[in-house]
Amino acid sequence: MELILLFLSAFVVVLVVLISKSFKGSHAATPAASDKSTEELIAESYRLVALIEVRRQAQMYGDAATVAAVDDMTYDGPLPDKRPDGTYTSVYELHDYNIAGINYRDGIAAYVGDFDGYLQPDQTNEHDPNAIAIFHKDGHHLGFIPAACIDHIRALGRPFPMPITGNIEQEHDDIENRYYFVGTVYIYALKK
């Protein structure tokens, strides 16, 4: 519903700009045009259309905080650029993190491949009360965010449980003749 209202707001601004242009040179005053120049109204309409795109991208990446900021018109982050083909650049960038401790978790072989999951702080962790655990969407514990990356994750400002995607691969160590797992999680975050 908010997306429709945002789109309608942008449409009204564009309509006001068009009406003000049609009266240019005449003595009739357009109420909105009396306070703002045509260039200001056009810039405002472009911003509203860009905000619609920011909201769409935020929904796609599960960023509820950004959706809420766009809806209540407090969003002050990056805006996408419109490409010549009509598509938009992303306001998100991809961050990837290794999965620490993956080889100490039971049942990992069943999770080889791409997965959806979430991050959740683990204050009961006896080794690090600041730890952030990685879970598959079915709740299976896959490992942890490396300790060196925890501050970066928290600085993203996203609420927990934080949605993520990831990948787990099974590798073979020829020297020790054993299999082991390597995992990566991916988080899309607003560009700074």
**One domain, residues 116 and 183:** yes
Q: How many domains are there within the chain?
A: 2
Domain identity same for 178 and 97: yes
Residue 141 lies in a domain: yes
**Which pTM was predicted?**
0.71
Check pLDDT > 60 for residue 21: no
Domain span at residue 9 reads: 2-71
Give the count of beta carbons closer than 10 Å to the beta carbon of residue 107.
Answer: 10
By the 8 A CB rule, do 132 and 145 touch? yes
Nearest 5°: phi and psi at 186? -125, 130
10 Å Cβ neighbour count for 103? 14
Q: Which of 178, 105, 111 is nearest to 144 (CA)?
A: 105
**CATH number of domain containing 105:** 3.30.70
pLDDT digits (tens, 9 = 90+) for 59-71: 988 888 899 999 9
- Per the prediction, the chain carries an average pLDDT of 85
Per-residue model confidence as pLDDT tens digits over 135-170 = 999 999 999 999 999 999 998 888 899 999 999 999
96 plus 185 within the same structural domain: yes
Residue that is last in its domain, among 15, 42, 71: 71
Same domain? 96 vs 138: yes
Distances (CA, A) of 109 to 118, 144, 167, 182: 19, 17, 12, 11
* Whether pLDDT at 190 is above 80: yes
